[in-house]
């Protein structure tokens, strides 16, 4: 019984390894894009057209679109705010 269980586990491991190798070879020859995690670390990738960059408001923590945020330059750095109230409260 124990020998059967060991053989079954080894068989399952072998199937998993063969499946992984076959899928890697298929991806290599099909020219598929790498997984999202590999693409996200590439510094040359750009956001999709129409995508909006977000910045966090330092006062309330709300994420606000850069295009529609209220901006203030503090120590040479642009700080983005969601409202006039948050901009006025910022002590920066």
> So what's the pLDDT on residue 19?
94
Tally of domains within the chain: 2
What mean pLDDT is predicted for residues 42-64? 76
Mean pLDDT of the chain: 82
Does residue 29 lie within any of the structural domains? Answer: yes
Domain range for 29 is: 2-40
> So what's the pLDDT on residue 24?
86
Does residue 49 lie within any of the structural domains? Answer: no
- Min mean pLDDT across 8-17, 25-34, 37-46 is at 37-46
Q: Which residue has the higher pLDDT, 39 or 80?
A: 80
Cα gap 69→74, rounded to integer Å: 15
Cα gap 30→64, rounded to integer Å: 40
User: pTM of the entire structure?
Assistant: 0.45
Does residue 84 lie within any of the structural domains? Answer: yes
Instruction: Burial-class residue 81 by CB neighbours within 10 Å (0-12, 13-18, 19+).
Output: buried
For the ranges 13-17, 24-28, 42-46, the one whose mean pLDDT is highest? 13-17
Which tokens sit at 24? Answer: 């890697």
């Amino acid at each position: 019984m124990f020998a059967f269980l060991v053989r079954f586990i080894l068989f399952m491991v072998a199937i998993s390894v063969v499946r992984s190798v076959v899928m890697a070879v298929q991806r290599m020859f099909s020219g598929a894009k790498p997984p999202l995690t590999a693409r996200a670390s590439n510094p040359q990738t750009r956001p999709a057209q129409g995508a909006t960059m977000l910045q966090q408001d330092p006062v309330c923590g709300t994420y606000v679109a850069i295009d529609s945020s209220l901006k203030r330059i503090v120590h040479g750095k642009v700080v983005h705010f969601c409202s006039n109230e948050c901009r006025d409260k910022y002590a920066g």
